[in-house]
Structure 1
């Protein structure tokens, strides 16, 4: 159990706009790991910030916590059409991650949102909640311990079979995601390169998820693909942001060089993502025990 005063102190770091963004991110992930009502409250307060990247990450963490007490704030964020699309999208995805049946009516309402990334996310989240409500069990082969927007495909399929589903634009996004997460769980170079092909898909939401998954995999063979989308200034900034963070997770010298070139990008969310990604590179190449180090920083230790 973490004392309330420590949770409050970490929440103050998260909600202090004068602190470096990388410190606020580490505080956020510390709160995610702590969990509980107080952590959710501290995270919820930060949705007043002006950084779309931070707010997007707040919603992501609330979804990963899978605590129904976060549904009120996530509902407010999804319903707030003044919020950036990437923030509303992440709120909808978080609702799907929590998986409670009471969100079905809201997701149904917003699956026809005029913002396509929001509409597509609500559709996938609906499918996930309905899949859970059908009583099916998620095959626990996920080596990353993440709550994914869809479960992997049932049974053992070859990379070729999964790739066929994954790249088929006539399939539902939910089913294509299922194939993607099955490819991810295989963790072979062949499966990674198959996933990387999805960065040329017509759906920005799909491309963004592809980049996220490549970041989880941390395989250097995906660097040229991520670099290409990050460098494309016509690319959706939600996708460029995720490519930057994926490069930060891979954390090779090439990744650091690429990220430094875009750390002053004219798109704020891309610029901030590169800053956070460079902090991730520093972590990945250091002896630090954990990225979410808010508690040790409070103790004055490293």
Structure 2
């Protein structure tokens, strides 16, 4: 837990020194920590982080979860110069990397288009109530949960458009939207499934708990999806989610067991916050 707190402290600190310190942390043998460092580097949206993320993305020996997070972070930073490397690795034989690069390309192109638009006028994406820098902005013109669910599950559509529907459902925040999101936990793409678990954690809606429990209990599920489900349960932090997490903190997959421990830390923090008046 202490190392994770340091990562998020450095995110708040920002600047070149923080980026250098975070880069130094990438020598860890913890996939969870390395992936979290890449996530934070993306959320900082500092162009100085790009060379660090490039190095991770091109490293064929790095864990696919970490490389995926590096590609997503390049999308979050959104520089035009990142398109070349993203296009190259969109052809990767590692599915998690290829799909994330495809998504990040659309994310960069969208940001460049928005920037151009805002220079011409005040046309800007609607601000989400969530502060995270997302791989795609929520759909602006659709609030019908069933229609958004249909877009989310339409595998013929670009990942970027499916993600826009996903984040719109997150922002709606109802039980119905949680159930709509849960339908995509059966998607063939681990990238999509893991993002669903991530947004469920952001929503902190108790209706998500049985769905996240099912993911965590499934030992044949991709470790990146199980890990994200564990962290989401930590964010929801009710007694049921804490009980579930305690059952998996000794899981055979290290990224899952570490995530459960971090999630229990998070649950404790949330619990302390809600009991303090």
Instruction: Name the TM-score class by shorter chain.
Output: over 0.9
Map Cα deviations across residues 202-251 of structure 1 (whole Å, 9 max, x no partner): 11010000000000000010101000011000000000000000000000
Give matches, 1:260-275, under 5 Å. Answer: 260-275=246-261
Alignment of 1:14-53 (within 5 A): 22-53=1-32
Which consecutive residues of structure 1, in runs of 5 or more, have no partner in the other structure? 1-21, 290-302
Deviation (angstroms), 1:287? 3.3
Note if contact 1:215-1:245 (Cα within 8 Å) is conserved in structure 2.
yes
1:205 and 2:191 matched: yes
CA distance in 1, matches of 2:4, 2:250: 19
Task: Kindly indicate whether the alpha-carbon contact (under 8 Å) linking 2:198 and 2:229 is maintained by their aligned counterparts in 1.
Answer: yes
Does 1:252 find its partner at 2:238? yes
Structure 2 partner of 1:12 = none
> 5+ residue gaps in structure 2?
118-122
Determine whether 1:114 maps to 2:87: no
How far the C-alpha of 1:197 sits from its partner, in A, is 1.4
Match of 2:55 among 76, 83, 86: 76
Alignment partner of 2:272: what SS? Answer: coil
Task: Give 1:288 shift.
Answer: 8.8
Q: Which residue of 1 aligns with 2:120?
A: none
Distance, in Å, in 2 between the alignment partners of 1:156 and 1:265 is 40
TM-score by length of 2: 0.94
1:232 equivalent among 218, 230, 233: 218
Rounded to whole Å, the distance in 2 between the matches of 1:194 and 1:94 is 27
The one of the two structures with greater contact order (alpha-carbon pairs below 8 A, sep at least 6) is 1
Q: 1:30 to 1:288 in 2, by over 3 A?
A: farther
> Superposed, which structure 2 residues align to 1:172-191 within 5 Å?
172-191=158-177
Change (3 A) 1:288 1:194: closer
- Counting matched residue pairs gives 268
Please report how far the alpha carbon of residue 154 of structure 1 lies from its aligned counterpart in structure 2 after TM superposition. 2.7
2:110 to 128, 131, 145: 131
Shift of 1:153: 1.2
Native 8 Å contact 2:235 2:270 kept in 1? yes
Farther off after superposition, 128-137 or 113-122: 128-137
- Please give the alpha-carbon distance, in whole angstroms, between the structure 2 residues aligned to 1:287 and 1:179: 31
Maintained 8 Å contact 2:126/2:140: no
